[in-house]
Amino acid sequence: MIRDTRTLRLLALAAVAAMLVAAYMIFIYAPQDQVQGPVQRIFYLHVSSAIAAYFCFALVLGGCVHYLVYGNLVADRLARAGALVGLLFTINCVVMGIIWAKPIWNWDPTQTWDARFTSTVVLGVVYAGYLLVRRFASPGRSAMRLSAVVGIIGFIDVPIVHFSVQWWRTLHPGPIIEQDALPAPMLVAFMVTMVCTVFLAAVMVAIRYRLELEQEARVLESSASLELLPQR
Amino acid sequence: MNGWRAVRAVALRDLRAETRGGELIPAMTQFVVLALIIANFAFDLDRVSAPRISPGVLWMVIVFTALIAFGRAFAADRENGSLDAMLLSPAGAAAIFLGKALAAVVFMLVIEAFLLPGMAVFLGSPINLEVVAAVVLATLGMAALGSLFAALAARTRAREILLPVLVLPLWIPLIVVGSRAVEEAMGGGALQGQPLPLLLDFDILFVVVATLAARFVLDD
């Protein structure tokens, strides 16, 4: 991973520039939706955030499995960074979805609690739990191991939540991108936004990784000085 | 098989401790009665609203009793060090976990044996075989995940907070399908799909996953 502060700064600047490009694509390049009006422009960042969050959680899963099998500290740190950034993007996705749902569904509870909303909220809660375990477990191997279990079982459970709620009832707009129903300019705007958002998420994970590394060094330093105390 | 004997021994040990000490079940049955009284006043139940609301009351009471029961299962053993002693024995972590989960299932079934007739008496809910089957199947899955995360939470500083936060999102599938099954069995809604086989599928999945993960949670 990148440890050089200057490279990280450059990457952060590049991510800001990328998001400005995404903003141009969303607000100026993409045409207005005839049925939903300007509200539809939420879609670009809403779906992109969800995809960025999925990438982050895939990283968490990979990191947790790798840590449990090989005990690799880099994998654990990556999982930790991924969980925090993924949680942030999940919250962003849910909040944007709620804003979109106000004019479209008028927050009718029979429509609000559909499968995607419920499973996304559960996804967020599961990874918030992952981060809580890190906070409450005694630091070191124990925290890494316990949170890895939470990360893996949480990842298994989310599709099941989605399936069980869908089986119950669902109203979320279908996957329109796969059905080829999006006009070309909107598709271009969406693709650009998605790439920019995933890049932003990757930069955030890299920065977070660096912070975790520093935090670990601090904990190590303080525990080492504690061990030295009785000898003085 | 040696593994199964270890499972049985651990389960019987927990049950024996409960029959001799008698802590959990008396407290839990009191909790059930109090929860039903509160539900009665909070929802202002009458002949019309009771059939609609009682499946919800049933699942709320089951979820909260289960949280207390599972939280207790590992906390006591962690405090007095008997879990470490068990882990020193040749029985594997998976067998110890399954034994404790099995004992937790028995405790929950005893409590539910009070809860379901209580529902019939206080809320007038029709209790039939399908309701019992849905509750028992959901309890199995809840016990598998609940015991795993109780063991996990017992190793942290804030187990009372951590257990519900971790386990409630994972129970949602069981509660979604279980509440649909109970609603339908109590005559509240039309049948959609087959909830009981689905609950059984969840049980198998959760028991297997939790048993596989037990090694990482119990061993130090």
Find chain A residues with C-beta within 8 A of B152's C-beta: 133, 146, 149-150
Domain residue extents for chain A: 47-172+187-214
Q: Is A172 helix (H, G, I), strand (E, B) or coil?
A: coil
Phi/psi of residue B119, nearest 5 degrees: -60, -40
Q: Which residues pair with A37 in a beta bridge?
A: A33
**CA gap B144, A93 in Å, rounded:** 32
Mind listing the pLDDT tens digit for each residue in B166-178?
A: 999 999 989 988 9
Spatial contact of B104 and B69, defined as CB atoms under 8 Å apart: yes
Is the pLDDT confidence value at A231 over 50?
Answer: no
Mean of per-residue pLDDT scores for chain A: 85
pLDDT at A63: 94
Q: Do B173 and A160 touch (CB under 8 A)?
A: yes
Q: Is A107 on the interface with B (CB under 8 A)?
A: no
Specify whether the backbone of B194 is left (phi greater than 0), alpha (psi in -120 to 50) or beta: beta
Spatial contact of B58 and B125, defined as CB atoms under 8 Å apart: yes
| B18 against A62, higher pLDDT | A62
**Residue B133 confidence class, pLDDT cut points 50, 70, 90:** very high
Distance of CA B51 to the CA centre of its chain: 24
Spatial contact of B18 and B97, defined as CB atoms under 8 Å apart: no
**CA gap A48, A100 in Å, rounded:** 15
Q: Which of A203, A165, A166, A202 is nearest to A8 (CA)?
A: A203
Q: Which of B40, B179, B177, B183 is nearest to B118 (CA)?
A: B40
Among chain B residues, CA nearest to A143? B156
**Interface with B, mutate which of A110, A147, A149, A165 (most B CBs under 10 A):** A149
Q: Do A154 and B162 touch (CB under 8 A)?
A: no
Mind listing the pLDDT tens digit for each residue in B69-103?
A: 888 888 888 888 888 888 888 888 889 999 999 99
pLDDT at A60: 94
Q: Is A192 helix (H, G, I), strand (E, B) or coil?
A: helix
Average pLDDT (B120-143) is 89
Mind listing the pLDDT tens digit for each residue in A117-152?
A: 888 898 899 999 999 998 888 877 888 999 999 999
**CA gap B17, B110 in Å, rounded:** 15
**CA gap A90, A123 in Å, rounded:** 8
pLDDT at A198: 95
HEC profile of chain B: CHHHHHHHHHHHHHHHHHHHHCCHHHHHHHHHHHHHHHHHHHCCCCCCHHHHHHHHHHHHHHHHHHHHHHHHHHHHHHHCCHHHHHHHCCCCHHHHHHHHHHHHHHHHHHHHHHHHHHHHHHHCCCCCHHHHHHHHHHHHHHHHHHHHHHHHHHCECCHHHHHHHHHHHHHHHHHHHHHHHHHHHCCCCCCCCCHHHHHHHHHHHHHHHHHHHHHHHHCC
Among chain B residues, CA nearest to A152? B213
Start-to-end Cα distance in chain B? 26
**Residue A168 confidence class, pLDDT cut points 50, 70, 90:** low
How close A167 comes to chain B (CA, Å)? Answer: 8
Find chain A residues with C-beta within 8 A of B144's C-beta: none
Average pLDDT (A164-179) is 61
Is the pLDDT confidence value at A232 over 50?
Answer: no
Q: Is A202 on the interface with B (CB under 8 A)?
A: no
CB neighbour burial string for A159-185, b if at least 16 within 10 angstroms, e if fewer: ebbbbbbbbbebebeeeeeeeeebeee
Spatial contact of B99 and B11, defined as CB atoms under 8 Å apart: yes
Q: Do B157 and A126 touch (CB under 8 A)?
A: no
Which of A122, A137, A145 has its CB closest to that of B169? A122
Comparing A125-129, A221-225, B141-145, the range with the smallest average pLDDT is A221-225
What ipTM was predicted for this assembly? Answer: 0.85
Is the pLDDT confidence value at B108 over 50?
Answer: yes
What is the residue range of B50's domain? 2-218
Is the pLDDT confidence value at A199 over 80?
Answer: yes
Q: Do B156 and A163 touch (CB under 8 A)?
A: no
Is the pLDDT confidence value at A27 over 50?
Answer: yes
Domain count, chain B: 1
Find chain B residues with C-beta within 8 A of A145's C-beta: 216-217
Is the pLDDT confidence value at A197 over 70?
Answer: yes
Give pTM, 2 decimals.
0.86
Which of A129, A133, A168 has its CB closest to that of B176? A168
How close A122 comes to chain B (CA, Å)? Answer: 6
Tokens matching residue A118: 């419920």
| Residue whose tokens read 């996705």 | A93
Mean of per-residue pLDDT scores for chain B: 87
Find chain A residues with C-beta within 8 A of B158's C-beta: 136
**CA gap B203, B197 in Å, rounded:** 10
**Residue B156 confidence class, pLDDT cut points 50, 70, 90:** confident
| B114 against A171, higher pLDDT | B114
Find chain A residues with C-beta within 8 A of B74's C-beta: none
**Residue B189 confidence class, pLDDT cut points 50, 70, 90:** low
Which of A126, A137, A168 has its CB closest to that of B180? A168
